[in-house]
Amino acid sequence: MAADLALYGYWRSSAAYRVRIALNLKGLAYETRPVHLLRDGGEQHAPAYRALSPLELIPCLIDGEQTVTQSVAIMEYLEETRPLPALLPSDAAGRARVRALALTLACDVHPLGNLRVLQYLESQLGADETARGKWSRHWMGVGFNALETMLAGSTATGRFCHGDTPGLADACLVPQFYNALRWKLPLDAYPTIRRIYEACQGLDAFQQAAPEAQPDAPAATPT
Amino acid sequence: MAADLALYGYWRSSAAYRVRIALNLKGLAYETRPVHLLRDGGEQHAPAYRALSPLELIPCLIDGEQTVTQSVAIMEYLEETRPLPALLPSDAAGRARVRALALTLACDVHPLGNLRVLQYLESQLGADETARGKWSRHWMGVGFNALETMLAGSTATGRFCHGDTPGLADACLVPQFYNALRWKLPLDAYPTIRRIYEACQGLDAFQQAAPEAQPDAPAATPT
């Protein structure tokens, strides 16, 4: 079954990065189908890709005849169709906690700093690079403040976001931390987030999902 | 068990509105705990509420000893702890489709038009009411274009977003449509979305979740 999996993504997209982590944690082989977000006005807007994902956003998972969009929906789908190793705990309270951590990033942080939003801020509201950087850091900071409190304040937090097994929340945390480094968000206030990020980075599943490890990453990473 | 449920929300918040619909569809009684988003600088920022939800966003569900944040995580939690009537279909492909529809709204439309974002656009980027309205309509339009395609182009769509039973995607669609009406988004291009909205509005579960039906709604609705 795994041989039928293909992931449309882009090396530096956080949302695609999440799904790559989830696929790797589950030990699933998949074909990488790059969608270049900047070339030719954005390949995600081309009719061929729009037919898969009408929202013209990546990632998109192909599983045989099945097409799944939305990174969190894709991870839930993988969890339901390939349950082990699990990305969610088995108890409802734990599952709710992990989903809340994941959605804090997937709903309330990442979409605000997405490429299409930064393009709008520039073209429609005249926000220059400084203003766009401030915007990105603002929403990451608000989200990380909350996430640090949620993680540091709970006995459910272990080596990873929930206990000692990496899962769905970690798959969202690492790409956002990567973004925070890229945008130079000051990180001193987030020791728990950083500790979990570093624990994740020690695992093959995360290393192999890293943007720079993707076949479509440029040889020398642009800033 | 239902008597222990309490929902922190605000009458006009789309995210709280979603959860009210889910609670009503499942026939669960709950206590309403209003959090006034505009009074005293926003009650969601007060220490008492921040202790429940560090992100300082509503809604937040209390279920006995359990606190759950993030509207989609809350609906998934309700689905796991009170499975019937179901808000998600039983097959993995259907569940993935419903989650993708829901998350298109919950991740890629609603967070961009949220109060805190509009406040930032005004205070930090000098966006006036016209620019903020344009911003809101832009992201709703992009999302609705995708949603209309996803719904109109699939045989899985029925009287509601997925088949003939209302569920998690409908609970996200109706509050966003309410927002679209409020922001005067032109809706002619979305006949399927409108048809489903109207089907939902015929049901008690949706009517009783409406902003104007909430105890904290003002007697005369401000614009």
> Using an 8 Å Cβ cutoff, are B40 and B46 in contact?
yes
**pLDDT higher than 80, residue B5:** yes
CB contact under 8 A, B70 and A100: yes
Q: In this predicted complex, what is the ipTM? A: 0.96
Cβ neighbours of B153 in A, within 8 Å: 54
Task: Measure the CA–CA gap between B109 and B202, rounded to whole angstroms.
Answer: 25
Task: Measure the CA–CA gap between A200 and B216, rounded to whole angstroms.
Answer: 44
**More confident: B165 or B2:** B165
Q: What is the mean pLDDT of residues A26-49?
A: 94
B150 touches chain A (CB under 8 A): yes
Q: Where are the domains of chain B?
A: 2-85, 92-207
Tell me whether the CATH fold assigned to A2-85 matches the one assigned to A92-207: no
Distances (CA, A) of B151 to A58, B181, B188: 19, 20, 15
Cβ neighbours of B111 in A, within 8 Å: 107-108, 111-112
The class level of CATH for A2-85 reads: alpha beta
Minimal Cα–Cα distance from A167 to chain B, Å?
Answer: 15
Cβ neighbours of B124 in A, within 8 Å: 131, 134-135, 138
pLDDT, tens digit (0-9, with 9 covering 90-100), for B83-120: 999 999 999 999 999 999 999 999 999 999 999 999 99
Q: What does residue A31 show for φ and ψ, rounded to 5 degrees? A: -90, 135
If one counts every other C-beta atom within 10 angstroms of the C-beta of residue B129, the result is 9
DSSP-derived 3-state class of residue B51: coil
Q: What does residue A34 show for φ and ψ, rounded to 5 degrees? A: -70, 140
A68 closest CB neighbour out of B81, B100, B111: B100
B99 closest CB neighbour out of A66, A70, A135: A70
Interface-testing mutation among B19, B57, B60, B69, with chain A (most A C-beta atoms within 10 A): B69
The class level of CATH for B92-207 reads: mainly alpha
B143 touches chain A (CB under 8 A): yes
CB contact under 8 A, B120 and A135: yes
> Using an 8 Å Cβ cutoff, are A147 and A193 in contact?
yes
Task: Measure the CA–CA gap between B75 and B209, rounded to whole angstroms.
Answer: 14
| Cα torsion through A122, B175, B49, B7, rounded to 10 | -160
pLDDT, tens digit (0-9, with 9 covering 90-100), for B33-46: 999 998 888 999 99
- Residue B223's pLDDT is 53
A127 touches chain B (CB under 8 A): yes
Q: The tokens of B200 are what?
A: 């939902």
For residue B104, give the chain A residue with the closest CA: A70
- Residue A2's pLDDT is 44
